[in-house]
Structure 1
Amino acid sequence: MKVIDERVQLEPIGSVVRLRLCRPRANAIDPRMVEALLTALDELESNEAVRGVVLCGSPGMFSGGLDVVSLYDLDRNGMATFWSRFNELMLRILDSRLIIMSAIAGHSPAGGCVLAIMTDYRVMAEGKYKIGLNEVAVGIAMPQGVVEVLRSIVGHRQAERLGLTGALVSPELALEIGLVDELAPIDEVEARVETELNRWLELATTGQQATKHFFRKHLVQELRQSQYADEEAFLDVWFSPDSRQILGELTARLRK
């Protein structure tokens, strides 16, 4: 095992590596986690022996999303820096040469779901857990890049309904609408992902990587071309009076 940061660990298994989020209590995404994940991707993509990655969290919690407590007090410049780097992380996962699969062994709201939908395959734990993009429920907007990726996965109308209501859905509904690809008992999620990943990796690398690029290139190009404008639009919402009120109330509750 290699520790990139106390928030992120690499666990090699042959040509596959587990990329594990390990920040108590909820694997909340803060600036350090984003930088650690980008560093991990740099290392993994530069290693030709690595072909596949399992993105995983902790039992019961894949990731609780953005660390609102640490982000709320940032000024616009500080938040702009973080948001630009988080967008870069999303695009790096989406456009990676590696096959990246998510082992969602627990809850995955908001930013946790964002990371998962950027990957190539998602296995979620059965049971009481929830997944979804509940940005509007906490007073902010679903980012444009997330809108486009979600739409490519579940279709326009389903994506619109999820986005506008901020719904968190059960594993069963997530499977039904295509938000996740498979369900498994919580203690079997990572093993099931590794089995599926190794099955994919039996195929010829060059053709598989090229095909992935062909599927993703137009979406990635569009998102990169509009990235600055999309980031500014998100920041306008983040710093709007009604969003600040809701985020402030949420932050106060989380700090207790």
Structure 2
Amino acid sequence: MSALEIERQDEIAIVTLARPPMNAMTTELLEEASSVFGELAAQESVRAAVITGQGPAFSAGLDLKVVPRLGPSEQRRLIMALNDAFGALYAWPKPLVAAVNGHAIAGGLVLALCADCRIAADVALQVSLAEVKVAVTYPVAALEVARAELVPAAARRLILLGESLDMQQALSLGVFDRCVPPRSLLLEAVGQARRHAELPSKAFATIKRELRATSLARIAAARAGDGEPRLEEWLGEETRRAASAALRRPA
């Protein structure tokens, strides 16, 4: 079963994470995302895209009930899927707008950070990069995207200290560009994508690639199997203990 739903509104593709309530990321979802955005990049009739989620969350990242129990080969496949998905979205040659409908946690926030414009619904939501709290170190693509897109103060608080931000903090630190009433989120995101779609496509793709060249080079090397330290050792006993403790905490 597909974990993504794709809709077209003329020249705009709307890609929806369809694993509610939390749209937790699986290896299969990430592999599908890489494939879908590769196909959309090749379609001349698609000029821009919006990515959003079903339910109360944009995405809460990886499933902590499953990931710490993966064996070595499953971990390696997941790491490659993370690098491929985040790499594909961050390098996507057309305008990409994130319509953040709810919680954006860990890999879910990284996914939003891959977008060129980030619009959030004005709802009570959690914004965090919780990896350090559950003893999960960052694959190359996730860290490169977060480091490139966050201002130093936000990177320190989110990446290193694992803090959670509310909407106003996320806006003030530039994590999101703006927030809108939830009922108008998708309309606003599609409208923004249409405006960006009017930019000259070849110039946009070239400038985006050159603007992100340093990060994209590191991600490309990781996708090729080079320079990815997580491939040798990623999740261990510390991760299992920290993830179990996190799951026991009240919401």
TM-score norm. by structure 2 comes to: 0.90
Q: Give the corresponding residue for 2:185.
A: 189
Aligned counterparts of 1:39 and 1:108: Cα–Cα separation in 2: 22
8 Å CA contact 2:110–2:145 kept in 1: the answer is no
Q: Find 1:39's aligned residue among 35, 38, 44.
A: 35
8 Å CA contact 1:64–1:109 kept in 2: the answer is yes
8 Å CA contact 1:133–1:142 kept in 2: the answer is no
The alignment status of 1:55 with 2:51, answered yes or no, reads: yes
8 Å CA contact 2:151–2:174 kept in 1: the answer is no
Tell me the CA shift for residue 152 of structure 1: 2.1
The alignment status of 1:232 with 2:234, answered yes or no, reads: no
8 Å CA contact 1:52–1:201 kept in 2: the answer is yes
The alignment status of 1:84 with 2:80, answered yes or no, reads: yes
* CA deviation map 1:48-96 (0-9, x unaligned): 1111110010242111111222323221111111111111110000111
2:235 partner letter = W
**Aligned Cα root-mean-square deviation (Å):** 2.0
TM-score norm. by structure 1 comes to: 0.89
8 Å CA contact 1:66–1:110 kept in 2: the answer is yes
Q: Give the corresponding residue for 2:129.
A: 133
8 Å CA contact 1:64–1:107 kept in 2: the answer is yes
8 Å CA contact 1:84–1:231 kept in 2: the answer is no
8 Å CA contact 2:20–2:55 kept in 1: the answer is no
The alignment status of 1:217 with 2:213, answered yes or no, reads: yes
Structural mapping, 1:1-256, within 5 Å: 5-226=1-222, 228=225, 231-233=228-230, 236-239=233-236, 241-250=237-246, 253=248
* CA deviation map 1:115-146 (0-9, x unaligned): 11111110011131111211112222234433
Distance 1:142 1:35, change over 3 A: closer
Tell me the CA shift for residue 248 of structure 1: 3.8
Structure with higher helix content = 1
1:23 partner letter = R
Number of equivalenced pairs: 248
- Stretches of structure 1 that go unaligned for 5 or more consecutive residues are none
Aligned counterparts of 1:150 and 1:123: Cα–Cα separation in 2: 17
Structure with the greater relative contact order (CA < 8 A, sep ≥ 6): 1 or 2?
2
Aligned counterparts of 2:57 and 2:232: Cα–Cα separation in 1: 27
1:175 partner letter = L
Aligned counterparts of 1:16 and 1:44: Cα–Cα separation in 2: 10
8 Å CA contact 1:6–1:23 kept in 2: the answer is no
Comparing 17-26 and 30-39, the one that deviates more: 30-39
8 Å CA contact 1:106–1:186 kept in 2: the answer is no
Aligned counterparts of 2:86 and 2:69: Cα–Cα separation in 1: 23
8 Å CA contact 1:59–1:186 kept in 2: the answer is no
* CA deviation map 1:179-230 (0-9, x unaligned): 1111111111111111111111122212112111111222201232356465
Distance 1:230 1:140, change over 3 A: farther
Tell me the CA shift for residue 235 of structure 1: 6.1
Tell me the CA shift for residue 162 of structure 1: 1.6
Distance 1:250 1:158, change over 3 A: closer
* CA deviation map 1:4-46 (0-9, x unaligned): x431110001110100001133111012211221221122112
